[in-house]
């Protein structure tokens, strides 16, 4: 492996770790730890396995075919077949973008004391300016490297010396002792937070932007497996901290104010600011990536020019898409939608719609005419199908439960 | 035909389970529903208590205490309202309504003490919240014993 590829691998791993944590991970991990201690770690482990496979597959596809996923799905299956996954993706991208903008606003609310809704438009302007002025690699590397601050959750968890037996036992699925509806809903939320479809659609467009070719297949495998694997350790850290700090006091996380107390015990003087900054940076990185993911999907669906490194005059519709998306998502927060409820709803929908957005992708990955020797083998297919089935069954059970019965 | 049914079986099974659980949730008695509604109240009282403790340890700013108290008071008022509307006997719901009123007052006291920078007063409100948490736990235990 030459120096350039080694550097790409190292940077890719660091950015995957730093970029792993976002508002969905914060909300679902805090809720899971506070209510069920270590019992839902299995959902996180399951989600991590699936996301490693999906991200590896999307990077491999882009490296071999030099095409992003929406582009390829539309070309292979036709525009009409792509419409349903496209509509579903656009909806969940939009809701998740709203949740991420809400997360940044909440972080600023913690730091300044000003209302969450006050920050909606300034935050939208900040995200937009970041996209308008930056190149793809600057966006990808800066926010994700700054996101390494979220490792604070791992340090905190380590300092609490959690009972390793209980932590390991949590990796095996078990039935809840109380609040079954909420248990399954949070399990689905954890899965949805880890396997946000924007991740692998964004990743494939990013690989095209970075001009990956077939020689990057090994680098891609390392980034997906090591980066995503270690990234999920941050979520484990958040679950452990919530289990140690909030659960014994009987504090559930029904609001982000409750989650904000998580680090104040282990880091008494700067834990509060650390939580706010971690949340703000993690959500900023995700909001920027989501805005780009929306613009990529629209542009690749309708065959427009696209590319974050292009001058806005060359891809005006691409830039207009993320501009409108950011503004519309910020309006949700401006008009008082609860950021935590929006986050949990988005994460549950993420898990529920996975089959719609992952199945066309899976079919594509088995096309030997397109991918030749790089097409999926039985291991990738089996793991992906199995975890997708688990996700849809859990979503089919928990979402009606929360809305109708819970 | 057989294969399509067997492929759909997990999904139908899941939906059937969801429907039966929904039915189970919907058929809860008023007492059980009130018990469920009281759970977030216990969580908010614990949150107020920890917020006061962390402010006394210089770990959170006064603006955070104010925002948390505002949110907690709204939530506690919601539980009190639910108790008021509940068809359970007065001897069950009145103690819960009283606890919610006292918890909101303790929250307001905490906010005033923080605004005044009065650490001993904050500690007193934290103790008051701890006592209320104990009373609420006793009320919940009593209702659990009463539930069919």
Asked if B75's CB is within 8 angstroms of A249's CB, the reply is no
Both tokens of B112, joined, read 């005033």
* pLDDT above 60 for B24: no
Domain presence at residue B66: yes
Q: Note whether A83 contacts B: Cβ–Cβ < 8 A.
A: no
Residue A268 main-chain phi, psi, to 5 deg: -60, -35
Write the ipTM: 0.86
Task: Outline where DSSP puts E strands in A259-336.
Answer: none
CA separation, residue A92 to residues A334, A343, A403 (Å) = 19, 11, 18
pLDDT at site A69: 84
Instruction: Please give the tally of structural domains in chain A.
Output: 1
Q: Could you give the CA distance from residue A344 to residue A328 in angstroms, rounded to a whole number?
A: 19
CB-based contact, A385 to chain B, within 8 Å: no
Please name the residues in contact with A45: beta carbons below 8 A apart, sequence gap of 6 or more. Answer: A171, A232
Residues B63, A113: C-beta atoms closer than 8 Å: yes
Angle at A201 between CA A133 and CA A91, to 5 degrees: 90
Provide the strand spans (E) within chain B.
Answer: none
The answer to whether position B138 is within a domain reads yes
Reading chain A (406 residues) residue by residue, the pLDDT tens digits are 577 777 777 666 766 665 677 888 899 999 999 999 999 999 999 889 888 888 899 899 999 999 888 888 888 888 888 888 888 889 989 999 999 999 999 999 999 999 999 999 999 999 999 888 887 777 777 777 787 888 899 999 999 999 999 999 999 988 888 888 888 888 888 888 888 888 878 888 888 888 888 888 888 898 888 888 888 899 999 999 999 999 999 999 999 999 999 999 999 989 999 999 999 998 998 898 889 889 988 988 888 877 777 777 888 899 999 999 999 999 999 999 998 888 888 887 887 787 778 888 888 899 998 899 999 989 888 988 887 787 777 777 767 766 654 4
**pLDDT of B16:** 55
Specify if B38 maps to a domain. yes
Find the CATH number of the domain harbouring B129. 1.20.120
| Residue that wins the pLDDT comparison between A393 and B65 | B65
Burial class from Cβ neighbours inside 10 Å (0-12, 13-18, 19+) for residue A286 reads buried
pLDDT of B15 over the 60 cut: no
Q: How many residues does chain A have?
A: 406
Is residue B5 scored above 60 in pLDDT?
no
Of A155, A231, A227, A149, the C-alpha closest to A193 is A231
Domain range for B52 is 29-146
Residue B48, domain member (yes or no): yes
What does the alpha-carbon distance between residue A24 and residue A57 come to, in Å, rounded to a whole number?
Answer: 23
CB atoms within 10 A of CB B89: 10
For chain B, the domain total comes to: 1
CA atoms within 13 A on the CB side of A370: 22
Inter-chain Cβ pairs, chain A and chain B, closer than 8 A: 97
Mutate which of A112, A182, A188, A255 to disrupt the B interface (most B C-beta within 10 Å)?
A255
The residue among B8, B14, B18 with the most chain A CBs within 10 A of its CB, best to mutate, is B18
Looking at residue B141, the DSSP 8-state letter turns out to be: H
User: What pLDDT does B21 receive?
Assistant: 56
Look at residue A19 in the predicted model and tell me its pLDDT.
Answer: 64
Q: Is residue B113 part of a domain?
A: yes
How far apart are alpha carbons A3 and A66 in whole angstroms? Answer: 22
Task: Choose the closest CB to A249 out of B19, B50, B71.
Answer: B50
Q: Residue B15: inside a domain, yes or no?
A: no
Boundaries of domain holding A346 = 3-405
Does pLDDT of B2 surpass 70? no
**Which chain B residues are within 8 Å of A175, Cβ to Cβ?**
none
Torsion of CA A70, A76, A78, A79, to 10 degrees: 10
Cα separation, B98 vs A81, whole angstroms: 59
Among B residues 40-99, those touching chain A with beta carbons less than 8 Å apart: 40, 42-44, 46-47, 49-51, 54, 57-61, 63-64, 66-68, 71, 75
Q: Are residues A14 and A148 in contact, defined by beta-carbon separation less than 8 angstroms?
A: yes
CATH code of the domain in which A179 resides: 1.20.1740.10
Closest to A170 measured CA to CA, from A219, A117, A240, A103: A240
Structural domain contains residue B2 = no
With a cut of 50, say whether residue B10 has pLDDT above it: no
B143 close to A (CB below 8 A): no
Tell me how crowded residue A70 is: count the other CB atoms within 10 A of its CB: 25
Whether residue B75 is contained in a domain is answered as yes
Q: Write the CB contacts of B43 (distance below 8 Å, at least 6 apart in sequence).
A: A250, A251, A252, A254, A258
Task: Say if residues A28 and A344 touch (Cβ distance below 8 Å).
Answer: yes
Considering the entire predicted model, what is its pTM?
0.88
DSSP A322-382: HHHHHHHHHHHHHTT--HHHHHHHHHHHHHHTHHHHHHHHHHHHT-HHHHGGGS--HHHHH
Chain A nearest CA to B31, separation (Å): 16
Whether residue A109 lies within 8 A of chain B, CB to CB, comes out as yes
Q: Is the pLDDT of residue B9 over 60?
A: no
């Amino acid at each position: 492996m030459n120096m350039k590829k080694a550097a790409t691998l190292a940077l890719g791993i660091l950015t995957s770790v730093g970029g792993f944590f976002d508002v969905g991970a914060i909300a679902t991990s805090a809720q899971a730890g506070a209510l069920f201690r270590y019992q839902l770690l299995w959902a996180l482990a399951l989600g991590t396995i699936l996301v490693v496979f999906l991200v590896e597959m999307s990077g491999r596809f882009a490296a071999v075919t030099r095409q992003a996923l929406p582009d390829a799905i539309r070309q292979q299956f036709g525009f009409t077949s792509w419409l349903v996954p496209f509509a579903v993706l656009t909806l969940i991208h939009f809701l998740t973008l709203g949740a991420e903008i809400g997360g940044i606003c909440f972080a600023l609310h913690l730091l300044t004391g000003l209302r969450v809704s006050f920050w909606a438009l300034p935050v939208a302007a900040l995200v937009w300016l970041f996209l308008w002025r930056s190149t793809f690699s600057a966006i990808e590397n800066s926010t994700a490297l700054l996101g390494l601050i979220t490792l604070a959750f791992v340090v905190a968890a380590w300092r609490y010396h959690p009972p390793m037996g209980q932590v390991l036992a949590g990796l095996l699925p078990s039935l809840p002792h109380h609040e079954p509806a909420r248990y399954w809903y949070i399990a689905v939320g954890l899965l949805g937070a880890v396997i946000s479809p924007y991740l692998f659609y964004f990743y494939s467009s990013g690989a095209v932007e970075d001009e990956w070719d077939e020689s990057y297949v090994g680098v891609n495998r390392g980034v997906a497996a090591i980066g995503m694997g270690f990234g999920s350790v941050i979520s484990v850290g958040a679950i452990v901290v919530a289990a140690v700090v909030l659960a014994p006091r009987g504090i559930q996380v029904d609001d982000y104010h409750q989650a904000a107390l998580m680090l104040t015990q282990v880091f008494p003087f700067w834990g509060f600011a650390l939580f706010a900054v971690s949340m703000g940076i993690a959500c900023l990185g995700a909001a920027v990536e989501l805005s780009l993911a929306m613009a990529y999907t629209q542009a690749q669906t309708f065959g427009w020019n696209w590319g974050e490194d292009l001058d806005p005059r060359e891809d005006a519709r691409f830039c207009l898409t993320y501009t409108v998306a950011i503004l519309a998502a910020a309006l949700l927060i401006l008009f008082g939608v609860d950021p935590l409820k929006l986050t949990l709803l988005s994460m549950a929908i993420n898990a529920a719609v996975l089959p719609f957005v992952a199945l066309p992708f899976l079919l594509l990955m088995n096309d030997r005419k397109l991918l030749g020797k790089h097409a999926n083998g039985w291991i990738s297919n089996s793991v992906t199908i199995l975890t997708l089935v688990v996700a849809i069954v859990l979503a089919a059970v928990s979402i009606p439960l929360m809305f109708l019965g819970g | 035909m057989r294969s399509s049914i067997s492929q759909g079986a997990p999904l139908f099974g899941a939906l059937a389970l969801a429907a039966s659980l929904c039915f189970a949730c919907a058929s809860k008695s008023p007492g059980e529903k009130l018990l469920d509604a009281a759970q977030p109240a216990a969580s908010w009282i614990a949150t107020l208590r920890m917020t006061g403790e962390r402010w006394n340890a210089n770990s959170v700013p006064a603006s955070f205490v104010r925002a948390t108290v505002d949110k907690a008071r709204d939530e506690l008022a919601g539980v009190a309202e639910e108790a008021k509307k509940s068809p359970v006997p007065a001897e069950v719901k009145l103690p819960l309504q009283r606890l919610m009123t006292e918890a909101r007052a303790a929250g307001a006291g905490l906010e005033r003490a923080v605004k005044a920078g009065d650490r001993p007063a904050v500690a007193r409100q934290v103790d008051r919240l701890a006592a209320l948490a104990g009373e609420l736990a006793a009320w919940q235990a009593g209702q659990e014993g009463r539930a069919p």
